[in-house]
């Protein structure tokens, strides 16, 4: 395999961006909230609920509903984007719901809804993954029963070389050879895949490698998420 | 009105003794914290905290066409999004009236005070001018989002840089700052005065805001009032309005001093 691609920012191919920061309880009004930063991408998430689902016809008598909303600040990217929902943000909202749903235990909340609001403050690729990472922590912070956490990362193929955690250049400007393929993946801690997307082209052999790389990275992210949650539990003892 | 009547009565009783639940005086703001450059793709951005209330304001610039009646001037656009993330009360969906009001009142405060020297943002008369976008996002609503947004807008504009513009190719070189955003020497800050049971207060918490009968936002700096808006149904007497203006004037200077120190 050709190893021609050298990363502009000097990272190794399997190196995550830095800094990686996680913090819990960033939105005091929310029932649970968290911030997740990786490189220059910053996401915050806030959870409200469980609460009654309105309108009534959207209620599920079997179990509660997880409802995610992904929103980017207009100034989080170079060319200002129009505030408010777009086709892209609508899709990412749904993808986020699907990424989180398998670990969230909503059987105890029939006819109710748990709202997860994600806001991208600064964007430099990988915003959906950062949003999912923040959302998982916010749900845990809100005390929503979960089987385990999920962690999310994107793997890229730059021409023929696999790299971890694409930055903006790698995600949207790199065009050499086969160009850039972006594969965001979300893993449960126990190793199930709850989300995968792919834009570009790749062989099935290389895809296996991609999944392996992503799992390794998600294990690292999991530790950071866990630490932040632990820290907030320690600090919050006696409160709330 | 989410705070019950009991709470309302209690708030009014305290005010009669010149006291508020959090120990502040009627004309006292909560602690102001400003963090700069919280979103680095913006030409200028700040996080503003007033107590537990938090907003993020960013300035973006783009090249567009001028309006016919101001062919030699840049454009200004102020938008506020009150995110459902920031409060259990904000519903998903199209912007509610509060968001529109915050955007419009902050817009007028900046526009009418002539804070931005829009003529210096003309690239080619009648054809190309800079548009300045000021976008406001609520992160945590504990009352008085409007004043926090106005303070944030001023602070973000003060630190904003105009990107380089490659006229030949019509391309904006973001990240290559050319110059500071051209501003005039005014520092408009909105101060919203609320009336609760005949008492006037500033910078209400959410529970105070809930029992507020009416409010008037007064924007300006030093001796000049540049924008005003009274909201909600209850009326103000002439004396109350005069007093509200005095209160606001007293706060502008104080708040601006803090803003200056923090940026």
CB contact under 8 A, A75 and B60: yes
Could you tell me which residue, B129 or B96, shows the higher pLDDT?
B129
CA distance B187 to A57: 51
Question: Half-sphere exposure of B144 toward its Cβ, with a 13 Å CA cutoff?
Answer: 28
pLDDT at position A1, please?
A: 44
DSSP, residue by residue, B139-176: EE-SS-HHHHHHHHHHHHHHH-EEEEEETTTTEEEEEE
Rounded to the nearest angstrom, the minimum Cα separation between B33 and chain A is: 15
CB contact under 8 A, A29 and B86: yes
CA angle (A221 as vertex; A217, A222 as ends), nearest 5? 115
Number of cross-chain residue pairs from A and B with Cβ atoms under 8 Å apart: 90
Q: A179, A172 in Cβ contact below 8 A?
A: no
**Local confidence pLDDT in tens for the 240 residues of chain A:** 445 799 999 999 999 999 999 999 999 999 999 999 999 999 999 999 999 998 889 999 999 999 999 999 999 999 999 998 999 999 999 999 999 999 999 999 999 999 999 999 999 999 999 999 999 999 999 999 999 999 999 999 999 999 999 999 999 999 999 999 999 999 999 999 999 999 888 999 999 999 999 999 999 999 999 999 999 999 866 554
CB contact under 8 A, B41 and A75: yes
Which residue on chain A is closest to B88 by alpha carbon? Answer: A48
Rounded to the nearest angstrom, the minimum Cα separation between B236 and chain A is: 32
Residue B3 has pLDDT above 70, yes or no: no
CB contact under 8 A, A83 and B81: yes
The per-residue pLDDT for range A107-130, each reduced to its tens digit, is: 999 999 999 999 999 999 999 999
The per-residue pLDDT for range B145-190, each reduced to its tens digit, is: 999 999 999 999 999 999 999 989 989 999 898 799 999 999 999 9
Pick B56's closest partner by Cβ from A45, A117, A121.
A121
The per-residue pLDDT for range B60-72, each reduced to its tens digit, is: 999 999 999 999 9
Q: Where are the domains of chain B?
A: 3-262
Q: How confident is the model at residue B2 (pLDDT cuts 50, 70, 90)?
A: low
Rounded to the nearest angstrom, the minimum Cα separation between A216 and chain B is: 29
CA distance A116 to A49: 9
Pick A78's closest partner by Cβ from B41, B139, B142.
B41
C-alpha dihedral, A114 to A120 to B180 to B252, nearest 10° = 10
> What ranges make up the beta strands (E) of chain A?
20-24, 32-38, 41-52, 65-72, 112-122, 150-158, 161-164, 180-188, 193-196
Q: How confident is the model at residue B76 (pLDDT cuts 50, 70, 90)?
A: very high
Q: Which of A33, A30, A127 is CA-nearest to residue A77?
A: A127
Q: Which of the listed CATH numbers 3.40.920.10, 3.30.230.70, 3.40.50.300, 2.60.40.10 matches domain A20-230?
A: 3.30.230.70
Q: Where are the domains of chain A?
A: 20-230
Cα radius of gyration rounded to whole Å, chain B: 19
Residues in chain B closer than 8 A to A121 (CB atoms): 38-39, 56
Which residue on chain A is closest to B44 by alpha carbon? Answer: A75
Neighbouring CB atoms inside 10 A of B67's CB total 10
B157 touching chain A per CB within 8 A: no
The per-residue pLDDT for range A154-189, each reduced to its tens digit, is: 999 999 999 999 999 999 999 999 999 999 999 999
* pTM for the whole structure: 0.91
Question: Quick one: how far is CA B148 from the chain centroid?
Answer: 5
Average pLDDT over residues B8-32: 93
CB contact under 8 A, B86 and A46: yes
Pick B133's closest partner by Cβ from A30, A74, A123.
A74
Looking at domain B3-262, does it have CATH number 3.30.420.10?
no
């Amino acid at each position: 395999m050709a190893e021609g691609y050298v990363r502009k920012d000097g990272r190794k191919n399997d190196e995550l961006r830095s800094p990686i920061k996680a913090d819990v309880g960033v939105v005091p009004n929310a029932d649970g909230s968290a911030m997740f930063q990786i490189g220059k991408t910053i996401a915050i998430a806030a959870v409200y609920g469980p609460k009654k689902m309105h309108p009534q016809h959207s209620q599920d008598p079997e179990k509660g509903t997880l409802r995610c909303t992904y929103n980017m600040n207009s100034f989080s990217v170079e060319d200002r984007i129009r505030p408010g929902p777009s086709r892209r943000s609508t899709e990412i909202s749904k993808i986020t719901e699907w990424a989180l749903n398998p670990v969230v235990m909503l059987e105890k909340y029939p006819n109710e809804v748990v709202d997860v609001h994600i806001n991208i403050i600064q964007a430099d690729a990988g915003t959906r993954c950062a949003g999912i990472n923040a959302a998982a922590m916010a749900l845990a912070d809100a005390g929503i029963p979960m089987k385990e956490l999920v962690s999310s990362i994107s793997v890229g193929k730059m021409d023929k070389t696999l790299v971890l955690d694409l930055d903006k250049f790698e995600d949207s400007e790199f065009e050499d050879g086969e160009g850039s393929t972006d594969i965001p993946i979300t893993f449960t801690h126990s190793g199930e895949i709850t989300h995968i997307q792919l834009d570009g082209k790749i062989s099935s052999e290389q895809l296996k490698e991609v999944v392996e790389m992503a799992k390794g990275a998600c294990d690292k992210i999991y530790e950071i998420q866990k630490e932040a949650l632990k820290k907030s539990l320690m600090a919050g003892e006696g409160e709330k | 009105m989410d705070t019950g009547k009991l709470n309302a009565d209690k708030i009014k009783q305290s005010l009669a003794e010149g006291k508020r639940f959090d120990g502040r005086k009627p004309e006292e703001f909560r602690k102001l914290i400003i963090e700069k450059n919280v979103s680095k793709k913006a030409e200028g951005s700040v996080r503003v905290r007033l107590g537990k209330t938090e907003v993020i304001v960013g300035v973006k610039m783009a090249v567009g066409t001028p309006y016919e009646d101001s062919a030699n001037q840049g454009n200004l656009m102020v938008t506020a999004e009150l995110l459902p993330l920031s409060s259990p009360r904000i519903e998903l969906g199209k912007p509610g009236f509060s968001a529109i009001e915050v955007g419009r009142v902050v817009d007028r405060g900046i526009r009418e005070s002539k804070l931005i020297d829009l003529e210096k943002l003309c690239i080619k008369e009648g054809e190309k001018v800079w548009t300045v976008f000021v976008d406001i996002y609520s992160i945590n609503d504990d009352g008085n989002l409007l004043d926090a947004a106005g303070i944030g807008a001023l602070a973000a504009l003060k630190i904003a840089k105009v990107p380089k513009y490659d006229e030949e190719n019509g391309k904006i070189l973001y990240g290559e700052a050319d110059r500071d955003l051209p501003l005039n020497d005014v520092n408009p800050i909105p101060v919203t005065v609320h009336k609760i049971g005949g008492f006037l207060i500033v910078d209400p918490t959410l529970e105070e805001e809930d029992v507020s009968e009416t409010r008037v936002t007064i924007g300006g700096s030093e001796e000049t009032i540049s924008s005003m808006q009274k909201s909600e149904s209850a009326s103000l007497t002439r004396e109350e309005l005069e007093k509200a203006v005095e209160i606001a004037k007293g706060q502008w200077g104080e708040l601006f001093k803090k803003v200056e120190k923090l940026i």
